[in-house]
Every structure is written in structure tokens, then in C-alpha cells.
């Protein structure tokens, strides 16, 4: 048996079911792993040791009593500091929210607990969860355990770094512009952005968000294996009417042809040669597994990017501009100003036009994904960025926005997407992970996971 903390969630479940190990033993091993590696990467910024051991003991007691275990029974997981977890501050990386203590769990946290998950800690995010890099003035700087010259991604950079380093096999993240998919890519693991309405979410500490975030922001899992993603997804995706977008849709849809569209450079975006090579290799693996793969062009992406930034920044401008100045986080202030340049302010008519454009793009993408149930495409146009690159020149910032077109655009239509880590290559910053992205129509995460199982193996923890 491997080190307990290094096991996948599936391996932990099997070992506990066989009576080879207890949840308390796994949890103690995971907490010891956090002691050993977290000081060097600062992924977990709020420990939950006492509550974790109590939850682990409860999982062991339930198993001993013969109760059917939930999908994550006894498995250590982390939760992002953006999200409500009773008794903890929902900081979102902000000093002005360091005392914003939740009294109720976010619905998906409730779902994780019902599934038997053991929450061992809360993970870092950039201030306002605004970037693809993770540093803030409250919790500090999170490093990539695979290569500290690279960003760990953002905004769920703490979640990705924790999973990659073996501080729990599953991390919870959120994604409004790639905040699950990109950190998974940067740390060389796997990450699932679910459909709008699939995983219920509501922070009772802050209440309902404006329409952009309602339509685009989701909570989803990160893991080192596709099997673990499936377990975590099934645990989180339990309907809860507290979220008005939550829909009780079956986790597996009807059978469809195993047909994938391959697009190397969607809507003309620049894509690095190493990424193109991975996409072609992934297409060959799908074909070897019985899929039909056809290279085609996608529906519009850049138009979706403009729409996403318009909705996202409209909310930030209305409720965030003054708060950004109040928080006075240097990184967030600069990034906010630069994002505003990419999304000119709009009046109510501009907002109506943007929502009208969204309806058309949703229709075009759904029609495309009826023909091709899965799209194989880049995660990003570039290999993972050098850490804090977005604080460089304006030209570098613009290059990042261009490379992240699919990270930004896919949420505009509320579509699910899966990052699959596939390889390590030599990049400008040294050894660098690379992967591919799968996209499907709404509520067909099952197709993404089926394809992901063909493409992605189990990633060993690093550090």
C-alpha cells in the first residue's frame, strides 16, 4: 500500500471498505502531509484539524455500524476560502472580509458533508478571486509545487496546489473565467467546470450576485485522477433549491455517438506548438478508443470573451470598484484596472444587447455540440504562465487575455469543460505541465469524464 496521503480517493475508499485502514488514519496522515509541505507553498490558509478528525471518526463509526458510505466517505478534501463553511471566514482573499464568519454552509459544502467528505482545510485565492495567479495581502502568495517559477493558477490556485502536493485527493474550486480549469492545467492535475445549475451554490454571507455571476460562476472539483473527479462531482451535484439555478438533472444522459471535434486554434487564437502536439496526440488516443474525431472550426469564441468580460466587469464596476479601492491590494488594483480596459463600461442597453448575444451564442454552441458531442481544444493558448506575469507590462497582460480565450468564453454560455493533464514538457520556465480541454453541451459532464478517462491518467503527488 502506498503512503496513505498519496492515495487517490478511489484507493482510500477501497482500503477503508476492505478494513485495511480507517478514515482517522488517513486523515492523520493527510494532516501530517500538510504540516510537511504546506509551509513551502502556502496552499491551505485555514486549517480544520480538530473538525476533520471528528468527521473522520464519524465516517469510521458509520461504516462500523453498517451504514452505506457516501461517495467521499472518510476522504480528505479542501474548500476554497471564497465559499461559506460554517465557523470559518469567507475571506475571498480580502482583509476587509477576514472577520466575515459563515454561520451556514454553502449548499455544495453541505453536499460534501453528506457524502462523508472530511474537510481538512481551506485554500487560498487571489484577492476578489480575480486572477489566474494566487497572491493576496491577507493570506500571502501560493506557489506551484510542481515548479515554483510557474503560477499555480487562479483563482483556485490554493486548491490546485494542495491537490498536486498530496494535501487531500480532492479540492473544491470555483470557475467564472477558468478558475477550476486553469489551476488544474498549471499544476498538472485534472479539473472539472460543471454546467450552470449542476452544483448548487450560495454564499449566505454575501447573498445573491448579479446576473453575470449567476449565469457564469460554478463550483467544481480538482483531482489527480478522473475517477476522483467523478466521485467528487457526484457528491457535489445534489439539487438544492437554495440556488435558483440548481436543476435536478440525471448525472448521466442518453447515449450519443462517440464523436469529437478537434480544434487546434479556436476562432483564430494563437496556440503554442507543444499544445497543438498534445491535442493531436489526444485525438489519436480517442480514435484508438473507438471515437470518431474530425478537425473542424468552433462557433464564435472571441464574441463570447467580449460578452463574458462585459458581464463580469459590469458587476465588478457596480459593486467592486469602490471595494477594490478600499481593500487596496496592489495586485488586485492593477489587474482590475487592466481588465476594465478590456471591457468598456455599458449602460442598460449595452447589458441587454450582451444578454441577447448570449442567447444566440448558446444556440450556436448547442447546435454544434449536438453534431459533435465533445469538443477537444486547448485549455490555454500558452503553456502555464510564469508566476505573476499579469503584473508585468500591459502587452504581457494583453497576451494573457488572448491566450485565455477559452477560459473566459466557455462560461459565457454556461457550458461544462474539463481540463485533462496529459504530459510534462520543457518550457521557458523549466519543466512545465501541459494538457487539453474537453467541452460538452449543458449537463453532459458524463461525456467529458468518459473522454477524460481515455486521455488522463493518475497523477502522482509532487513536492
Residue 458 lies in a domain: no
Residue pair 86/102 in contact (Cβ under 8 Å)? The answer is yes
- The model's pLDDT over 24-36, given as tens digits with 9 standing for 90+, comes to 999 999 999 999 9
Model confidence at 1, pLDDT cuts 50, 70, 90, reads low
Identify whether 359 is part of a domain: yes
pLDDT tens for residues 237-275? 999 999 999 999 999 999 999 999 999 999 999 999 999
What average pLDDT score do residues 20-26 get?
98
d(CA 397, CA 119): 35
Q: For the chain, how many structural domains are there in total? A: 2
Q: Based on the residue annotation, tell me whether 179 is a catalytic residue of this protein.
A: yes
CA distances (Å), 83 to each of 62, 156, 174, 185, in order?
Answer: 27, 11, 9, 22
My answer on whether 159 and 265 are in the same domain is no
- Percent of the chain beyond pLDDT 70? 100
Lateral strand order in the sheet of 417-427: 44-47, 118-123, 76-80, 170-175, 218-223, 190-193, 417-427, 430-439, 374-377, 259-262, 292-295
456 found inside a domain:
no
**pLDDT single digits (tens) 186-197:** 999 999 999 999
Q: 295, 300, 262, 273: which is closest to 455 by C-alpha? A: 262
Residue 344 has pLDDT above 90, yes or no: no
Q: Which of 90, 155, 160, 201 is catalytic?
A: 155
pLDDT by residue (tens digit) across 410-455? 999 999 999 999 999 999 999 999 999 999 999 999 999 999 999 9
Question: Three-class SS string for 272-332?
Answer: CHHHHHHHHHHHHHHHHCCCEEEECCCCCCHHHHHHHHHHHHHHHHHHHHHHHHHHCCHHH
Annotated active-site residue 155? The verdict is: yes
Look at residue 229 and tell me if it is in a domain: yes
Q: What mean pLDDT do residues 83-105 have? A: 98
- Where does the pLDDT of residue 463 fall: very low under 50, low under 70, confident under 90, or very high at 90 and above? confident
Are 231 and 302 within one domain? no
> How much is the pLDDT for 321?
83
Residues 224 and 368 in one domain: no
| Residue 332: predicted pLDDT | 97
| Whether 300 and 420 share a structural domain | yes
Residues 313 and 401 in one domain: yes
Task: Output the CA torsion sign for 93, 219, 121, 230.
Answer: negative
pLDDT digits (tens, 9 = 90+) for 118-135: 999 999 999 999 999 999
Backbone torsions φ then ψ of 439, nearest 5 degrees: -130, 140
Instruction: Give the 3-state secondary structure of residue 121.
Output: strand
Q: What's the chain's average pLDDT?
A: 97
347 and 206, same structural domain?
no
Quick one: 217 and 289 in the same domain? Answer: no
Considering 90, 179, 201, 225, which one is annotated as catalytic? 179
206 is catalytic: no
CATH number at residue 307: 3.90.1300.10
Whether residues 158 and 304 share a domain: the answer is no
Q: How many Cβ atoms from other residues are within 10 Å of residue 254's Cβ?
A: 6
| Whole-number Å distance between alpha carbons of 50 and 250 | 36
Q: Answer whether residue 455 is part of any domain.
A: no
pLDDT reading at 382 higher than 90: yes
250 domain-assigned: no
Kindly state whether residues 415 and 336 are assigned to the same domain: yes
- Given the residues 22, 23, 80, 380, select the one marked as catalytic: 80
**Cα–Cα distance measured from residue 334 to residue 307, given in angstroms and rounded to the nearest whole number:** 22
Q: What is the CA radius of gyration of the chain?
A: 20
Tell me, yes or no, whether 174 and 205 share the same domain.
yes
Is residue 461 a part of any domain in this protein? no
Q: Can you give the residue range of the structural domain that contains 178?
A: 4-236
Amino acid at each position: 500500500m502506498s503512503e496513505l496521503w498519496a492515495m487517490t480517493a478511489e484507493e482510500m475508499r477501497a482500503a477503508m471498505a476492505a478494513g485495511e485502514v480507517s478514515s482517522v488514519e488517513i486523515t492523520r496522515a493527510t494532516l501530517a502531509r500538510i504540516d510537511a509541505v504546506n509551509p513551502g507553498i502556502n496552499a491551505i490558509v485555514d486549517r480544520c484539524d480538530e473538525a476533520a478528525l471528528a468527521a473522520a471518526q464519524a465516517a469510521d463509526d458509520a461504516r462500523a455500524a453498517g451504514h452505506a458510505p457516501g461517495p467521499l466517505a472518510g476522504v480528505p478534501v479542501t474548500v476554497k476560502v471564497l465559499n461559506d463553511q460554517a465557523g470559518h471566514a469567507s475571506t475571498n482573499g480580502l482583509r476587509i472580509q477576514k472577520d466575515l464568519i459563515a454561520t451556514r454552509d454553502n449548499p455544495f459544502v453541505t453536499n460534501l458533508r453528506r457524502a462523508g467528505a472530511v474537510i481538512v482545510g481551506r485554500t487560498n485565492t487571489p484577492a476578489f478571486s480575480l486572477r489566474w495567479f494566487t497572491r493576496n495581502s491577507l493570506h500571502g502568495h501560493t506557489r506551484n509545487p510542481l515548479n515554483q517559477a510557474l503560477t499555480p493558477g487562479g483563482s483556485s490556485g490554493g486548491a490546485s496546489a494542495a491537490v498536486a502536493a498530496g494535501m487531500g485527493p480532492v479540492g473544491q474550486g470555483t470557475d467564472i473565467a477558468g478558475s477550476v480549469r486553469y489551476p488544474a492545467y498549471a499544476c498538472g492535475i485534472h479539473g472539472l467546470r460543471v454546467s450552470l445549475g449542476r452544483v448548487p451554490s450560495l454564499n449566505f454571507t454575501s447573498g445573491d450576485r448579479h446576473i453575470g455571476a449567476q449565469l457564469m460562476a460554478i463550483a467544481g472539483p480538482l483531482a489527480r485522477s478522473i475517477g476522483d473527479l467523478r466521485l467528487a462531482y457526484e457528491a457535489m451535484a445534489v439539487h438544492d433549491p437554495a440556488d435558483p439555478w440548481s436543476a435536478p438533472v440525471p448525472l448521466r444522459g442518453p447515449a450519443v455517438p462517440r464523436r469529437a471535434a478537434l480544434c487546434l486554434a479556436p476562432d483564430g487564437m494563437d496556440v503554442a506548438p507543444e499544445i497543438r502536439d498534445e491535442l493531436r496526440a489526444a485525438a489519436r488516443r480517442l480514435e484508438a478508443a473507438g471515437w470518431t474525431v474530425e478537425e473542424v472550426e468552433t462557433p464564435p469564441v472571441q464574441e463570447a470573451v467580449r460578452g463574458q468580460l462585459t458581464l463580469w466587469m459590469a458587476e465588478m464596476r457596480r459593486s467592486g470598484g469602490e471595494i477594490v479601492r478600499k481593500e487596496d491590494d496592489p495586485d488586485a488594483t492593477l489587474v482590475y484596472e487592466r481588465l476594465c480596459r478590456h471591457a468598456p463600461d455599458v449602460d442598460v442597453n449595452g447589458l441587454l444587447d450582451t444578454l441577447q448575444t448570449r442567447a444566440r451564442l448558446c444556440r450556436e454552441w448547442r447546435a454544434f455540440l449536438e453534431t459533435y458531442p465533445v469538443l477537444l481544444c486547448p485549455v490555454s493558448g500558452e503553456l502555464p504562465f510564469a508566476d505573476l506575469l499579469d503584473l508585468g507590462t500591459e502587452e504581457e497582460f494583453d497576451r494573457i487575455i488572448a491566450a485565455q480565450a477559452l477560459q473566459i468564453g466557455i462560461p459565457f454560455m454556461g457550458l461544462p469543460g474539463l481540463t485533462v493533464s496529459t504530459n510534462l514538457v520543457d518550457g521557458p520556465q523549466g519543466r512545465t505541465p501541459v494538457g487539453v480541454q474537453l467541452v460538452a453541451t449543458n449537463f453532459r459532464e458524463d461525456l467529458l469524464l468518459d473522454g477524460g478517462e481515455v486521455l488522463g491518467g493518475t497523477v502522482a503527488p509532487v513536492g
